Amino acid sequence: MEADFVIVGAGSAGCAMAYRLSEAGASVLVIEHGGTDVGPFIQMPAALSYPMSMSRYDWGYTSEPEPGLGGRRLATPRGKVIGGSSSINGMVYVRGHARDFDHWADQGAQGWGFADVLPYFKRMENWHDGGHGGDPSWRGTDGPLHVTRGPRRNPLFHAFVEAGKQAGYPVTDDYNGYQQEGFGPMEQTVWKGRRWSAAHAYLRPALKRENCDLVRGLARKVVIEDGRATGVEIERGGKVDVLRARREVILAASSINSPKLLMLSGIGPAKHLAEHGIDVVADRPGVGQNLQDHLEVYFQMAASQPITLFKYWNLWGKALIGAQWLFTKTGLGASNNFESAAFIRSRAGVEYPDIQYHFMPIAVRYDGKAASEGHGFQAHTGPMRAQSRGEVTLKSADAKEAPRIFFNYMSEEQDWVDFRACLRLTREIFQQEAFKPYVKREILPGADKVSDADLDAFVREHAESAYHPCGTARMGAADDPRSVVDPECRVIGVDGLRLADSSIFPRITNGNLNGPSIMAGEKAADHILGRDPLPKANEQAWIHPEWETSQR
C-alpha cells in the first residue's frame, strides 16, 4: 500500500487532485471514510435535503452552542461519501467575485489573485448556457465539471429578476462572468438531470486509470519521520495500517477534518496539542483558527396563487416527480430548483456585492420542512463577508471523536448592522410591482418585524448556516505566523505535506464554496507537479462605477 501521492479525502478538491495527478502519470491512493454515492437521494437534484441529513452520507457534526444565536447548536453537515460535500450540497455553482481572490493575494496568498485563478476555473468547467446568454469568453467548455442552468419555467423565477430591476438593481446574464452584481439566472452542477459531483467529474475517470486507487478507511494521522510526511495511518476493519507516500501526503479532508488531522499529527497550536498529550511536530497557531461561514435566513412569502412547487409537496406529488426523474432524468426532479439568483451591495462604499440571494418557488427549509402556509416562495439570503471568526479544536486525541466546532456567529457588531440592512433590502424587493400578482403576505420575518430589535431577534432565532465553513488552515506568506500553508499549498514546518480544500481560503468567497474548493484542487495539482501555473488571465471584472456613493 504505497503510491507517489496519498490524498486524504475524496471530496471536491481531493477528487480534482486525484484526477490531475494520475493524468500526469503519478500513482495515487485516495483515502475516503465514506462509502458509495450510488442511490437516488444523492443523484436526484431535487432530493437535496435528504443526503445532507443522512448519517450514511454525512459526518453529522454540530456546532457548539452559539452565544450570538441564543445558544443554539447548528447542524454542520460535511460529506462522508465519495465526492465529499459535492455529493450532498445544494449543487449551486458560484466562482466567487474577482475581488475575493485579489484580496487573498493581498493577504499573502501570492499567485492566487483573480488573474491567476480564472484560468483554473476555465480549465475545470464544461459550461452549457442552454441558449440563455452569458459570457462565453469568460467560461470553460471542455473541463470535467458540467455547469448548467435550470429551465426557469415557473413565473416566480422571472418575477424575482423583474422585481430586482424595478428596485433599481442591474440585471446580469452571467454572475460567473464579467458582471456578478445584479439579478439573473442561477447555475448548478447538474448534467443530464443528475447531480454532477466531483465524484462524477473527476474521481470516476481517475479510478479508471491503473495508477489511481480508492482506499476505504478512517485517517488517524499523518506519519511524520524526521520532519517529513511519509504516509498516513488509517483504520479499517478494526486494523491500523499505514499507506506510504513516495512523494507527498496531501490533505483534502474539509475545513473541519483537515485541521483536525493536522492537530492529531502534531501540527497546530503547541499549547492546545499539549493539553491533549500530542507531541508537537510544528507549532502553527493558525491551525483550526479563522473559521468562517455564511449565515442565512429564509425570507418567506405566502403566495396568493397556487403556482408554487407546494402542489407537489405530498406523497403522490413526490412519487410522480421521482418516477419521472427515475425513468427520464427530466422534470422537477432534475433541478435543484434554485434557478434565479442575485448579488447586491448592502450600502454605498462597499466595492462589490456582499449579499447573495438564492430564490426558490416554494417556502421550505433545507431540512425539508415546508412552511405551514402551504403555497409560498422564498429567498435564502445573508451577508457574504461577516467579520466574526470561530475555530475548530480537538475534543481529544482520539481520531474517532468529532472535533469541537465553534463558529462564534454574530460576535461582531458590524455583522448585526449588515444583517439588518440585508433584511430591509430583501423586504423592499418583495414589495415591488412584479410580485404584486403573487404575494399574499410575508411569513418570515413577518411584516410587523420592522425595528432593529425585531430583526435581531429574528436572526437570533432563525438564521441557519449556509454550510460554507472555510478558512481553518489559511494560506499566506510562509513567514506569517497565522499562515498554515504557503501559496504552493505546502504545510509550513513539515516537508512532503500539502493541504488543499476550503480550509486554505484566507477569507470566505462571495457565494457558494463548491466552485472555489474544486478550483483550489485544480491549481494545487499544478503546484504539486512542479508545473508552471497557467498563464494569467487579462479579463477585468465589472465593478459598479458609482459604488463609492451609491448602493445600487
Cell numbers placing 51:
443526503
DSSP letter at 433?
A: G
- 92 labelled as ligand-binding? yes
pLDDT mean values, one per 10 residues, the chain (552 residues)? 98 98 98 96 94 94 98 97 98 98 98 98 94 88 97 97 98 97 98 98 98 98 98 97 98 98 98 98 98 97 96 94 96 97 98 98 82 91 98 98 98 98 98 98 97 98 97 98 98 98 98 98 98 98 98 98
Establish how many alpha carbons lie within 13 A of residue 34's alpha carbon, considering only the half-sphere containing its beta carbon. Answer: 26
Query: Any residues with CB less than 8 A from the CB of 157 and at least 6 apart, and which?
Result: 150, 339, 340, 359, 361
- 222 labelled as ligand-binding? no
In order of 15, 173, 203, 451, the CA distances from 83 in angstroms are 7, 29, 8, 44
Burial 361-388 (b: 16+ CB within 10 A, else e): bbbbebeeebbebebbbbbbbbbbbbeb
Sheet strands (E) in 304-345? 340-344
Given this model, what pLDDT does residue 366 score?
72
Given this model, what pLDDT does residue 364 score?
87
544 is known as an active-site residue: no
Give the C-alpha separation, 317 to 489, whole Å: 48
Given this model, what pLDDT does residue 210 score?
98
- 223 labelled as ligand-binding? no
Inter-residue contact 265 to 221 (CB < 8 Å): yes
Give the C-alpha separation, 364 to 499, whole Å: 36
Q: Which helix (H) or strand (E) holds 12?
A: helix 12-23
- 281 labelled as ligand-binding? no
Residue identified by cell 516537508 is 495
Given this model, what pLDDT does residue 240 score?
98
Of 500, 507, 466, 508, the residue nearest 76 (C-alpha): 466
Domains and CATH numbers, the chain: 1-144+195-291+391-400+472-538 (3.50.50.60), 151-185+292-388+411-462 (3.30.410.40)
Give the C-alpha separation, 308 to 360, whole Å: 9
Residue tagged active-site, from 200, 294, 358, 468: 468
- 54 labelled as ligand-binding? no
Peptide bond into 535 cis (omega under 30): no
Give the C-alpha separation, 173 to 231, whole Å: 47
Given this model, what pLDDT does residue 468 score?
98
Residue identified by cell 498516513 is 232
Distance between the two ends of the chain, CA-based, in angstroms? 58
Given this model, what pLDDT does residue 311 score?
93
Given this model, what pLDDT does residue 431 score?
98
Query: Any residues with CB less than 8 A from the CB of 280 and at least 6 apart, and which?
Result: 266, 270, 273, 274
Of 242, 244, 221, the residue nearest 28 (C-alpha): 244
Given this model, what pLDDT does residue 369 score?
76
**Residue 31: strand pairing partners:** 8, 215
**For the whole model, what pTM was predicted?**
0.98
